[in-house]
Chains A and B, each alone.
Chain A
Amino acid sequence: MSNGQNERREMTGAEMVVQALKDNGVKHVFGYPGGAVLPIYDEIFQQDDVEHILVRHEQGAGHAAEGYARSTGKAGVMLVTSGPGATNAVTPLQDALMDSIPLVCLTGQVPTSLIGSDAFQECDTVGITRPCTKHNWLVKDVNELAATIHEAFHVATTGRPGPVVVDIPKDVQFARGFYVPPQIAPRTSYQPKVQGDLEKIKAAVELMAGAKKPIIYSGGGVINSGPEASHLLRELVDLTGFPITSTLMGLGAYPASGKNWMGMLGMHGTYEANMAMHDCDVMICIGARFDDRITGRLTAFSPNSKKIHIDIDPSSINKNVHTEVPIIGDVGRVLEDMVRLWRASAKADKKALYPWWEQIAKWRARDSLAYKMNNDVIMPQYAIERLYELTKGMDTYITTEVGQHQMWAAQHYHFEKPNRWMTSGGLGTMGYGLPAALGVQIAHPDALVIDIAGDASVQMTMQEMSAAVQHDAPIKIFILNNQYMGMVRQWQQLLHGNRLSHSYTEAMPDFVKLAEAYGGHGIRCEKPDELDDAIKEMISVRKPVLFDCRVATLANCFPMIPSGKAHNEMLLPDEATDEAVANAIDAKGRELV
């Protein structure tokens, strides 16, 4: 990357920003201009290497950059101004922190001489973003600017990836100084451990070889580790013959069509996945973090298993669940060793697993994702199923908002490859999906990018339709419109005596007209037998589409582990009568969420 011509070249801070972006391989920046970043925007104007994608709100820039990052494996970059620009970036920063997405956020700042004076559009950006970034910097000396931006990219993309902020005062953007190209001289205090301890990996392989009821539970760490990690995961599953489930964030690392696939686990996971988690004797957790949506009641979580935990972040180990064999390292590197050791030593006695697979088959026969089909009203599950059937052969990327539709998408859309599924897992950010789809489409202009949305979430960042139209990004917003904040309503039914306080959207916009107002294309579909044609129309339109899919208004998302319950106390769809729903969570569980 080092370019001889750039060695200690003198330039302005604003020029350095653009040069540093180029030198770090950045092709696209999502941003919104403002007073404190005008010098940088002036430099962007005068070059063609870095393309700027203008959004309509800084939150949109952040989620777009996240979608871009998650679908490419590269860092997403956003550029915003000081004050409100920076504070609007906080939600995507925290979102990226919780889901470990490499996101580089450049913010303008008031001139150094005015910092602390309550100047116009001033805020304490590094103070506000300190807890929602992996690291952040305020650059006060133009001669440190280039090195700081390079370090920011290094920190964001290595180890456990995450968001970083570089705050650049306006006078630093104008000042002249010397540019240094990126060089690999990371600070000594930041040395993420990527290679797993071989003795621990040996112990893990031994434990796995003796397992009678094993389960692999993989997560977003496999995706973050890169395509090779997903490949190795598949190899490990094939070699061992173990059943595999995944968190929301890890979908696609192992193909949904794979014969050992059990579906997603957790609060809205499949019955077989959760029962197998509960009853297993050896659990291999790969790049996941025992989140509370996964474990259910901790004291009843997989009580009889020995646990192996592979994670690049030592603080994830033993945080929620005690682990017998902790392995700290990059998933890809550790799996490489694990596969090699398994080949060398362990004999795959797949017959020993027959009784376990028989048990799993019984759980699977419970068909926990079943729902009652309806000929007059579109069931939301059916809508996702048809969407999947009609798009599965294509180069498809799926993003979602947050709520019932997100869970239905995770349950009924099936992923064969990593980096194809972009969703807000940790933070649960309504409004993530539409701008994320924009980011994905910018990275993959010819792909079919669909945001599976809910009618409430999508209105939180609807304005980015305008950005999609501007940048010819033909994203498809497939709205499961049930007129409710469905998941909120579901919880009110479960927890609050069916008193639906403010979860009904009484004034719904006409999404078709809205699409047309933005210069996009609107489709409405209300009947199951018209759905296929409508979806085909959506796919064929080379424009941003708002698809208003009117679905059954009161459908709820099952199966479900109610709060305070264990994996083996799931509420299944055929058991979820009104009474069962009302009594599913006892008084103690009501205090949880």
Chain B
Amino acid sequence: MNAQLQPTGSAYFIAKETEKPENHTLSVLVDNEPGVLARVIGLFSGRGYNIESLTVSETEHEKHLSRITIVTRGTPHVLEQIKHQLERIVPVHRVVDLTVRSHESGQERPLERELALVKVAGTGEARVEALRLADAFRASVIDANTEHFIFEITGKGSKIDQFIAIMKPLGLVEICRTGVAALNRGPQAM
């Protein structure tokens, strides 16, 4: 018996996951009330779901509605569960999987944009190069003195990743990113 004994895990029955995980962007419309964000992110941590990006802000002031945009990663089965679990939260009005929506209308993915503020410090050649590349990326200078720039850049996450990577050897000091804001194409609301 002893030889066969395995360390007993805490788990119950764990079926092997056969589906492949995908990145999806969810839009969640919620009542803007105390604790609502904690409910949403608590759900993700409590049930072991991933958060790749999270953006939240009040979008309809008179109705006290906030819109939370979450980029999450999971198998289609888990993604469906996430949607249903979010819908159970009392102050949640609506949950739309923008990625699924965009597939339905023949698009590869929803419109997704992110804004980043990127501080680069340096002098001489590196400084000139940073400014030149920022121009190529259509990043604008929002603060500068003789030793640094702060660039504002907007675009897809991949573009910002690339910009940051390029700035690294040119004196990158710090970065602040907003996380993904997303809408679906076309005239309809979520």
Contacts and interface: CB of A to CB of B under 8 A. Distances in A.
Contacts of B31: 187, 189
Nearest to A497: B1
Interface in B1-52: 1-2, 4-15, 30-31, 34-35, 38-39, 42, 46
Nearest to B34: A138
A564 B85 contact: no
Contact of A189 (B7, B12, B14, B93): B93
Interface in B161-177: none
B39 A130 contact: yes
Contacts of B178: none
A324 to B, nearest CB: 15
Interface in A124-171: 126-127, 130-131, 134-135, 138, 155
Interface stretch (B76-84, B121-129, B144-152): B76-84
Interface stretch (A210-218, A291-299, A446-454, A531-539): A291-299
Tell me which of A130, A188, A315, A564 has the highest count of chain B C-beta atoms within 10 A of its own C-beta. Answer: A315
A110 to B, nearest CB: 17
12 contacts: A131-B42, A187-B31, A187-B91, A189-B91, A299-B15, A315-B88, A318-B77, A582-B1, A587-B4, A590-B5, A590-B6, A592-B14
Contacts of B98: none
Contacts of A292: 12-13
A297 B13 CA distance: 7
Contacts of A187: 31, 90-91
A135 B13 contact: no
A591 B9 contact: yes
Interface string A526-569: 00000000000000000000000000000000000001100000
Contacts of A591: 6-9, 11, 14
A593 interface: yes
A495 interface: yes
Contacts of B90: 134-135, 155, 187, 189-190
Given A131-B42, A587-B4, A563 B13 contact: yes
B12 A592 contact: yes
A314 interface: yes
Tell me which of B11, B12, B13, B14 has the highest count of chain A C-beta atoms within 10 A of its own C-beta. Answer: B13
A172 to B, nearest CB: 15
Given A127-B38, A189-B31, A592 B13 contact: yes
Tell me which of B10, B39, B90, B93 has the highest count of chain A C-beta atoms within 10 A of its own C-beta. Answer: B90
Contacts of A317: 84
Contacts of A9: none
Contact of B11 (A134, A190, A314, A592): A592
In this complex, the interface size class of chain B, counting residues with CB under 8 Å from chain A, is: 20 to 34
Interface string B36-72: 0011001000100000000000000000000000000
Contact of B5 (A126, A315, A319, A496): A496
Interface in A88-139: 126-127, 130-131, 134-135, 138
Given A190-B90, A297-B13, A315-B87, 15 more contacts: A135-B90, A135-B91, A187-B31, A187-B90, A189-B93, A292-B12, A315-B84, A318-B80, A495-B8, A586-B4, A587-B4, A590-B8, A592-B14, A593-B8, A593-B12
Contacts of A23: none
B15 A313 contact: no
A587 B11 CA distance: 14
B117 interface: no
B11 A298 contact: no
A138 B15 CA distance: 40
A214 to B, nearest CB: 26
A315 B13 contact: no
Contacts, number: 78
> Sorted from nearest, which 6 A-B pairs have the closest CB atoms?
A315-B84, A135-B90, A189-B93, A497-B1, A591-B9, A314-B84
Contacts of A188: 93
A472 to B, nearest CB: 39
Interface of B: 1-2, 4-15, 30-31, 34-35, 38-39, 42, 46, 77, 80-81, 84-85, 87-93
A317 B31 CA distance: 26
A210 B180 CA distance: 50
Given A155-B90, A315-B85, A590-B5, A130 B35 contact: yes
Contacts of A564: 13
Contacts of A313: 88
Contacts of B30: 189
Contacts of A587: 4-6
A313 B84 CA distance: 9
Nearest to A130: B42
Interface in A574-593: 582, 586-587, 590-593
Given A318-B80, A495-B8, A126 B35 contact: yes
B8 A497 contact: no
A274 B57 CA distance: 51
A131 B8 CA distance: 27
Contacts of B15: 298-299
A144 to B, nearest CB: 11
Contacts of B77: 318
Nearest to B84: A315
Contacts of B6: 587, 590-591
Contacts of A138: 34-35
Contacts of B85: 315
A319 B82 CA distance: 10
A593 B85 CA distance: 26
A175 to B, nearest CB: 19
Nearest to A564: B13
Contacts of B2: 497
Nearest to A316: B84
Contacts of B46: 131
Contacts of B11: 591-593
